[in-house]
Amino acid sequence: MRTALFDFDLPAGSIALRPASPRDSARMLVVQPGAGLQDRAVGDLPQFLQPGDQLVVNDTRVIAAQLTGRRIGRGTEPKIEATVIKRLDGSRWQALVKPTKKLAQGDIVRFGNEGKVCLLGHLDAQVEHKGEDGEITLSFSFHGPILDQAIADLGATPLPPYIGSKRAPDERDAADYQTMFAANEGAVAAPTAGLHFTPALEAGLRERGIGIHRVTLHVGAGTFLPVKVEDTAAHKMHSEWGTISRATADALNEARSRGGRIVAVGTTSLRLLESAAAEDGTIKPFAGETAIFIAPGYRFRAVDILMTNFHLPRSTLFMLVSAFSGLDTMKRAYAHAIAGGYRFYSYGDACLLFPDKART
């Protein structure tokens, strides 16, 4: 499909720079193809679900992935900004850096902030490889838990560029940009639909007889990238690591066999569930990389309802929700949201999407 089909105009004022407080007070647009749109709040979520339905949340935890340093060892020492995006092994990370033109294979980058002490006062990394897409491989001077602690000490919260370009990260973001489910470190972006949940909302869901299950998908920086090719078929997704335990897979399959619906909280949970699903919709245990790309024409096997935020124009995530509820439906829903003052992107409002009946 033509990428231009997924474009739309979004006023700059629609981009949320802070989350709603309390989190479950955010607005929620309920989208039911063929049944219109409903303006509600996240706290109303239990009303739209049935006893026996099962929510699936992503329990990944965002790491302090943004590092600032300087190139050392040859002539000038230009400032280097790096965002580690994918762990390769105990001492190596894939990273996005700027300016990439200032680095060559073999260069050393010394990360450290004045006033912060990390072990010996700094963290060095060698540029092991430069990729064609602007990604580099950094081989750090520390390994394992010591390296993890060094990155945590020196790094900052990696806010999405549409927020980071408008204000600097601060101490509030360290808490605001984690979901209440965050447990397993490894993401460089939050699974943002989960940001809307509170203990009160969780209690309300459980009281209604709705199960809540955890999976892990370490969200990568590729989630921020627009689709640059003219035809979606030519787009290459970044891979991300995820896991679904056997106990979780068995519980979801059992619930679905009794008529319960699977409700994915966020596109990350949905992509992982669909990656683990067999043709008949059975969810299998999963541990590994997924680069699944979902666009209109995809046949969903595992997920019945999707709760998600409002996404960027021309993004793989807007393509995904268009596949789920229909492109025309989602264009109408987004136009309604923009006109109605809904807040977009990571810190923005939510929508609850039901499937396009024409595709089921």
The CATH number assigned to the domain holding 268 equals 3.40.1780.10
Indicate if the pLDDT at residue 114 is higher than 70: no
d(CA 278, CA 148): 36
162 part of a folded domain: no
Pair 213, 269 in one domain: yes
pLDDT in tens, 123-178: 999 999 998 767 899 999 999 999 999 998 898 888 888 888 888 888 899 899 99
Residue 347 is which amino acid?
A: Y
Indicate if the pLDDT at residue 96 is higher than 50: yes
Helix residue ranges per DSSP H, 128-239: 144-154, 161-164, 171-176, 199-207
Pair 182, 262 in one domain: yes
Pair 331, 225 in one domain: yes
Pair 57, 183 in one domain: yes
42 in Cβ contact with 24 (< 8 Å)? yes
Pair 340, 286 in one domain: yes
Q: Is the C-alpha dihedral spanning 173, 178, 180, 184 positive or negative? A: negative
Of 64, 86, 62, nearest in space to 153 by CA: 64
Indicate if the pLDDT at residue 115 is higher than 60: no
pLDDT of residue 141: 92
161 part of a folded domain: no
Q: How confident is the model at residue 224 (pLDDT cuts 50, 70, 90)?
A: low
Helix residue ranges per DSSP H, the chain: 144-154, 161-164, 171-176, 199-207, 246-257, 267-276, 316-325, 327-339
Indicate if the pLDDT at residue 87 is higher than 90: no
Indicate if the pLDDT at residue 251 is higher than 50: yes
Residue 323 burial (C-beta neighbours within 10 Å; 0-12, 13-18, 19+): buried
pLDDT of residue 223: 66
pLDDT in tens, 282-326: 999 999 999 999 999 999 999 999 999 999 999 999 999 999 999
Please state the rounded mean pLDDT for residues 70-77: 90
**CA distances (Å), origin 289, targets 235, 326, 331:** 18, 27, 31
Domain boundary among 155, 183, 207: 155
213 part of a folded domain: yes
Indicate if the pLDDT at residue 119 is higher than 60: no
Neighbours of 115 (CB within 10 A): 5
Pair 351, 203 in one domain: yes
In the numeric block, which tokens belong to residue 112? Answer: 């450290």
- Domain extent, residue 201, equals 3-62+174-359
What strands lie across the sheet with 54-58, from one edge to the other?
37-41, 27-31, 350-353, 305-309, 262-265, 54-58, 211-217, 240-244, 286-290
Q: In CATH, what number is assigned to the domain containing residue 90?
A: 2.40.10.240
Domain boundary among 155, 190, 215: 155
46 part of a folded domain: yes
Q: Quote the mean pLDDT of the chain.
A: 92
Q: How confident is the model at residue 357 (pLDDT cuts 50, 70, 90)?
A: confident
Q: How confident is the model at residue 238 (pLDDT cuts 50, 70, 90)?
A: confident
Indicate if the pLDDT at residue 55 is higher than 80: yes
Contacts 24+ apart (CB under 8 A), 249-254: 249/276, 249/283, 249/284, 249/285, 249/286, 251/54, 251/211, 251/213, 252/54, 252/56, 252/213, 252/283, 252/302, 253/282, 253/283
168 part of a folded domain: no
d(CA 307, CA 181): 16
Pair 89, 212 in one domain: no
d(CA 345, CA 62): 17
160 part of a folded domain: no
Pair 190, 330 in one domain: yes
pLDDT of residue 43: 98
Pair 145, 282 in one domain: no
Indicate if the pLDDT at residue 116 is higher than 50: no
Instruction: List, in sequence order, every beta strand (DSSP E) within the chain.
Output: 27-31, 37-41, 54-58, 60-62, 66-72, 79-87, 92-98, 108-111, 123-130, 135-140, 184-187, 211-217, 240-244, 262-265, 286-290, 305-309, 350-353
Please state the rounded mean pLDDT for residues 189-199: 96
165 part of a folded domain: no
20 part of a folded domain: yes
Indicate if the pLDDT at residue 358 is higher than 90: no
Pair 183, 326 in one domain: yes
Pair 255, 317 in one domain: yes
**Counted domains in the chain:** 2
Pair 100, 229 in one domain: no
Residue 130, beta-bridge partner list: 136
